[in-house]
Amino acid sequence: MQAKLSVNINKIALLRNSRKGSYPDLYKYARDCEGFGAEGITVHPRPDERHIRYDDISILKGQTKNEFNIEGFPNDKFLKLVLKNKPDQCTLVPDDPTQLTSDHGWNTIRHRTFLKDVVSTLQDAGIRTALFLDPDPKMLEAAVDIGTDRIELYTGPYAYYQSVNEEKFQSEISKHALVAKLAQSAKIGVNAGHDLNLENLRIYAESLPNLLEVSIGHALTVDALYYGLQNAIQMYKRQLIIA
């Protein structure tokens, strides 16, 4: 089984917003990502709308064919948006409104009741859920109790340690592999994301045989500048082919 590639298009929205117009065309970019092989599109609307705007969502939903994933903190405005647009998947992320980017997973023990409520609301609307999680068995245990369909493992520290500390890098791989295995036993699907790139993606996919999906934005966007979007997408997809 090969993990799917969902391209996070937030950085393209950021580029568009820097000149206030509609160039580059975000919607064409999303369609082209799919045309070049991406199995999904991810958007992460944040309250200040500095990248994806709330009114982009319904247009993207209407123009994309593959899996559509909306991620973000489940405040009332976000949930209303998600329930209205019914993406295939909603990834719940514990980021505060001013955060630059996501940098930790949920404390599923502390927020168990809140997350149970949100997860069942989304599932009742036919939307698959994923909880953004650090690779911690205790957090997974509570995520199983919450009833989420999937988790998305936060790969920031994994990516960071690759070039700075081999021992910690190996330890991150072991933690991710363990939680992925436990998730599989509990029949919870495993996605992953953050700071994944052409240097670290293959090792990650090889270490987690039940990985279903990766969502990648920053590095893929930078690589597209050097190699072109079609090549970059194909290069990322090749990293996910495990012999």
Active site residues: 44, 71, 194
Task: List binders of ligand PXP among 37-76 (CB under 6 A).
Answer: 44, 71
Q: What is the C-alpha separation between 49 and 125, in angstroms, rounded?
A: 25
Q: What is the C-alpha separation between 82 and 54, in angstroms, rounded?
A: 10
Q: Does 102 bind ligand PXP (CB under 6 A)?
A: yes
* From 82-90, 110-118, 189-197, 226-234, span contacting ligand PXP (CB under 6 A): 189-197
Q: Which helix (H) or strand (E) holds 141?
A: helix 137-146
How far are the Cα atoms of 34, 40, 72 from residue 96, in angstroms, in the given order?
30, 25, 10
Q: Give 234's contacts (C-beta < 8 A, 6+ positions apart).
A: 36, 37
Q: Does 207 bind ligand PXP (CB under 6 A)?
A: no
By CB under 6 A, name the one of 16, 176, 194, 237 that touches ligand PXP. Answer: 194
Task: Specify the residue, 43 or 173, whose C-beta has the smaller distance to ligand PXP.
Answer: 43
Q: Does 213 bind ligand PXP (CB under 6 A)?
A: no
3-class DSSP state for residue 73? coil
E strand map for the chain: 4-8, 40-43, 67-72, 89-92, 128-133, 150-154, 189-193, 211-216
Q: Which helix (H) or strand (E) holds 85?
A: helix 76-85
Cα dihedral 128, 132, 135, 141 sign: negative
* From 17-25, 30-38, 216-224, 229-237, span contacting ligand PXP (CB under 6 A): 216-224
Task: List binders of ligand PXP among 138-167 (CB under 6 A).
Answer: 152
Q: Does 195 bind ligand PXP (CB under 6 A)?
A: yes
By CB under 6 A, name the one of 10, 89, 148, 200 that touches ligand PXP. Answer: 10
Closest distance of CB 103 from ligand PXP, Å: 9
Q: Does 132 bind ligand PXP (CB under 6 A)?
A: yes
* From 161-169, 203-211, 213-221, 232-240, span contacting ligand PXP (CB under 6 A): 213-221
Closest distance of CB 186 from ligand PXP, Å: 21
By CB under 6 A, name the one of 13, 118, 173, 216 that touches ligand PXP. Answer: 216
Q: Give 167's contacts (C-beta < 8 A, 6+ positions apart).
A: none
DSSP states of 171-234:
HHHHHHHHHHHHHHHTT-EEEEESS--TTTHHHHHHH-TTEEEEEE-HHHHHHHHHH-HHHHHH
Closest distance of CB 13 from ligand PXP, Å: 11
Q: Does 218 bind ligand PXP (CB under 6 A)?
A: yes
List residues near ligand PXP by CB under 6 A.
8, 10, 44, 71, 91, 93, 101-102, 132, 152, 193-196, 215-219
